[in-house]
Amino acid sequence: MLLFKVLLLSFLISNHINAQFGKHNATQNSYRLKAVKEIQLTSDTGGHFLNSTQCFSKDDNWIAYDGRHLETGIPANGKIGMVNIKTKAIKTLYQTTHQTQYGPGVGAVTFSPAANRVLFIHGIRNCDEKNPYSASRRTGVSVLTNKPGKAEFLDARNITPPFTCGALRGGTHAHSWSADGHWVSFTYNDLIIEQLSKQDSSIKDIRVVAVMNNSTSVTVPDTSNQENNNGKMFSAVVTEVTDNPAWGSDEIDKAFDEGWIGTNGYIKKDGSRQKRAIAFQGNVRDRQGKTKTEVFVADIPDDITRARPGCPLQGTTTSRPCIPVGVQQRRITFTDKGIQGPRHWLRTTADGKWIGFLAADKNGIIQIFIVSPGSDESRQLTFNDYPVEGPFNFSPDGGRVAYIADNSIFITHLNNGISERLNPKSPDSRKPVGAVIWSNHGKMLAYNRRLRKKAGNSYLQVFLLSL
């Protein structure tokens, strides 16, 4: 009897550990849910490219998209639109003028969680064959859905010395709203440093992460050349990079593909709350000098307008923009091989407890892993027999993560690691692609499929799963 009780206790403890850490056999836990309805929202012969996150309007009635057919097609795309999830009505929100293959180009549209407003990348207005759209020649513009075509610059740009505090001097990309809609994060490439790197090989053109908030608008001295523009928000770089990271250190030479941590930050090790922070990917050098990507956190102060002595936020003609006083950067993963798999942005649960990233498991399969920004605790979340195929997103309640694997839409539950297939596996000719995005109320998932028309051309269409 005593032996039976010991064995039973051991079994219960084992099940509890498996439930906590998601260590399940993928073939047992992956199954297709019944009665998950798929709806095709768009069908016209155009592109309907969904951003990796935040594509639903705040009331969940509309889904925003840009007119691309390919991820790399922003320079030649001139359209931002949205589709109604009930009527399938299409509404054009913005159309560029004088659009060519060289720009200006628009793309990567996100909906504000707090207003009927979209934000997207816009190439510099004077883009042409000589000065085309590029990583350092783009900015973020916003359009109210009830005022289509009327774009406002959010981040100010000034590439003419003397530079302007609160304005940047290059290109902003992949904008993500904070939960309250008052802040935006993005990656940034500096035009001044890019030009210097072409003259001096010791200077590196490095991507960084920056943020902007609506604390104050920014006016630049001269906007007559269409290279410079005023901005509705104040911008600052918030990641520290170096041209030549020391081997085996936490120094990085690239910061990218970030995400806000939680809707209200996260709890630190000392029990206090960090109200505003971003998680981002940073490239370090291991002890052999090999580049690998790890997870970093940058704690952001409420005030990003204060500069450190001798290090201006706007940079100089020979130096990068400096980070504000109060920004704290730290590395939180120390893996053998680093982040791996398809391109993705770090995403977090709404409570800020977990940051998700992709890496290879012991069998070399790309899975989702999670790490705590407060304790640096990490674990493997998915244990599927097939790799995650693109960006992922956590549900608004933080209990599930959605992604594409094995040409199907999947969700995995964080509390027990069980993965569920939501629709049948598709042939390659019509497989889902890109990211899977949750609606704000967590009852729908949006994603793209590339469908072929009779003429032989294929077009990205928007699909919806009603849960």
pLDDT digits (tens, 9 = 90+) for 113-133: 999 999 999 999 999 999 999
The angle at the Cα of 53, spanning 155 to 84, to the nearest 5 degrees, equals 100
What are the tens digits of pLDDT across the range 71-89?
889 999 999 999 999 999 9
What are the tens digits of pLDDT across the range 228-273?
999 999 999 999 999 999 999 999 999 999 999 999 999 999 999 9
CA atoms 36, 42, 46, 49: torsion sign: negative
Task: Calculate mean pLDDT across residues 282-304.
Answer: 98
Q: Are 437 and 48 in contact (CB under 8 A)?
A: no
Q: Are 184 and 233 in contact (CB under 8 A)?
A: yes
* Residue 11 reports pLDDT greater than 90: no
What does the DSSP 8-state code read for residue 16?
A: H
The angle at the Cα of 328, spanning 211 to 267, to the nearest 5 degrees, equals 95
- Banded model confidence at residue 33, pLDDT cuts 50, 70, 90: low
What are the tens digits of pLDDT across the range 51-77?
999 999 999 999 999 999 888 899 999
Cis peptide before 387 (omega within 30 of 0): no
Q: Name the nearest CA neighbour of 167 among 236, 240, 241.
A: 236
The DSSP bridge partners found for residue 296 are 280, 331
CA gap 399, 381 in Å, rounded:
12
Q: Are 316 and 334 in contact (CB under 8 A)?
A: no
Task: Calculate mean pLDDT across residues 397-422.
Answer: 96
- Banded model confidence at residue 454, pLDDT cuts 50, 70, 90: low
| 7-21, 314-328, 424-438: least confidently modelled range | 7-21
pLDDT at 116: 97
Domain coordinates in residue numbering, the chain? 34-48+332-467
What does the DSSP 8-state code read for residue 428?
A: G
Residue written as token pair 């998680």: 279
| CATH class of the 34-48+332-467 domain in this structure | mainly beta
What is the edge-to-edge ordering of all strands in the sheet holding 90-95? 62-66, 79-84, 90-95
